[in-house]
């Protein structure tokens, strides 16, 4: 079966993909725009086994690498970076003080629940923006606030202050505002995986992804999920700190990925459907699908894979050795 056929088997070339969602939400600390929570397990299957390191220059919620680590599919380690200082802090806290972090989250819910969006906007966000010196308390508050943002659209400025995302809607509460057992367990699973993997997340700049891609070696896998062009007013939180990501940036990223693939690196990239041609023109196997709505919903994702040299170097060679 060709890579294109394999992709189409999982992702579907048609737009009848509302069933593409994960049945169980993956381990993740955050709920953010562009997060891959609902499709993380499917992307993990496309990535498959990682003989070397898994490199993620645009970590965000971390759903995909955390799922792959959880499934014991990574032979090396996770090498990651992230643009948002708040997210980097939360990962570091989870790794070094995970139990204390979970205790602080429980404390916030105990004091303020049910936390609807008015409470998040009028009480918790101002507390966060005023500055919380304790990194554990700051991380806990950020995690809770990301959960409360409307449709995952938490907005932040270049100083790392929360500027919006808590629009009132009808009904006023679309979630209970309580710390359910399932939500608690999801966060706890993420903390444990971050601890087990000893995940080190570097603070990204606008162009620091270049060194990560160029530093990948044979049998490494790079997962690329850069900010998508065309999100309008809704920007990924880290963009405010490092500068808005553009289509030109994405095309430069694709070119660097192509060069890395020639060294035996597997590339898996997710992006908006408007980049499908750019990916196909560089030799990626692609599939377009939707992650929301019914069968007539327009596509909102494309997955591209480059792995010819990777399969020749790592997959075929591994089978021969066995």
Burial of 125 (0-12, 13-18, 19+ CB in 10 A): buried
CB 147 within 8 Å of CB 119: no
- pTM to 2 decimals? 0.87
Asked whether residue 274 falls in the same domain as residue 300, the answer is yes
Q: Which pLDDT value is given to residue 236?
A: 62
Asked whether residue 220 falls in the same domain as residue 166, the answer is no
Q: Which pLDDT value is given to residue 198?
A: 94
Distance, in Å, from the CA atom of 151 to the CA atom of 247, rounded to the nearest integer, reads: 24
Asked whether residue 62 falls in the same domain as residue 113, the answer is no
- The count of structural domains within the chain is 2
Structural domain contains residue 195: no
CB 136 within 8 Å of CB 152: no
Asked whether residue 219 falls in the same domain as residue 74, the answer is yes
Structural domain contains residue 111: yes
CATH number of the structural domain spanning residue 314: 3.40.50.150
Question: What does the block give as tokens for 147?
Answer: 């959960």
Identify the CA nearest to 125 among candidates 151, 145, 98, 139. Answer: 145
Identify the CA nearest to 218 among candidates 86, 297, 310. Answer: 310
Beta carbons within 8 Å of 304's beta carbon, 6+ residues apart:
267, 268, 269, 270, 271, 276, 279, 280, 284, 285, 286
Structural domain contains residue 258: yes
Question: pLDDT tens digits, the chain, 322 residues: what are they?
Answer: 455 455 455 444 333 333 344 445 788 898 766 657 778 888 999 999 999 999 999 998 899 999 999 999 999 999 999 999 999 999 999 999 999 999 999 999 999 999 988 899 999 999 999 999 999 999 999 999 988 887 667 888 888 899 888 865 444 444 568 898 988 999 999 999 999 999 999 999 999 999 999 999 999 999 999 987 655 444 567 777 888 888 899 999 999 999 999 999 999 999 988 899 999 999 999 998 877 666 677 878 899 999 999 999 897 444 334 4
Question: What does the block give as tokens for 296?
Answer: 């007539």
**Residue carrying the six token digits 């196909």:** 280
Q: Which pLDDT value is given to residue 152?
A: 67
* Domain of 253, in residue numbers: 3-83+204-321
């Amino acid at each position: 079966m060709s890579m294109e056929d394999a992709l189409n088997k999982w992702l579907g070339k048609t737009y009848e993909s509302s069933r593409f969602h994960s049945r169980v939400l993956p381990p993740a600390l955050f709920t953010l725009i562009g997060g891959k929570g609902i499709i993380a397990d499917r992307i993990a299957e496309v990535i498959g086994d990682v003989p070397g390191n898994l490199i993620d220059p645009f970590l965000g919620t971390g759903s995909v690498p955390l799922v792959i680590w959880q499934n014991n599919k990574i032979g090396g380690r996770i090498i990651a970076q992230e643009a948002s200082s708040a997210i980097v802090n939360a990962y570091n806290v989870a790794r070094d003080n995970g139990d204390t972090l979970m205790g602080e989250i429980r404390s916030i819910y105990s004091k303020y629940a049910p936390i609807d969006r008015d409470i998040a906007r009028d009480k918790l966000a101002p507390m966060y923006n005023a500055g919380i010196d304790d990194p554990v308390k700051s991380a806990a508050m950020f995690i809770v606030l990301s959960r409360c943002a409307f449709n995952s659209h938490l907005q932040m400025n270049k100083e790392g202050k929360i500027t919006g995302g808590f629009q009132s809607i009808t009904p006023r509460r679309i979630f209970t505002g309580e710390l359910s057992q399932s939500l608690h367990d999801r966060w706890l699973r993420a903390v444990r995986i971050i601890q087990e993997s000893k995940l080190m997340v570097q603070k990204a700049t606008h162009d620091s992804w270049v060194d990560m891609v160029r530093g990948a070696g044979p049998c490494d896998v790079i997962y690329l999920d850069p900010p998508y062009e065309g999100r309008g007013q809704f920007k990924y939180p880290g963009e405010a700190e490092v500068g808005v990501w553009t289509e030109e940036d994405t095309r430069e990223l694709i070119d660097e990925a192509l060069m890395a693939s020639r060294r035996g690196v597997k590339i898996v990239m997710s992006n908006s459907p408007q980049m499908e041609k750019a990916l196909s023109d560089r030799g990626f196997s692609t599939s377009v699908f939707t992650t929301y709505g019914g069968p007539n919903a327009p596509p909102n994702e494309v997955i591209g894979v480059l792995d010819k040299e990777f399969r020749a170097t790592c997959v075929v060679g591994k089978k021969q050795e066995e």
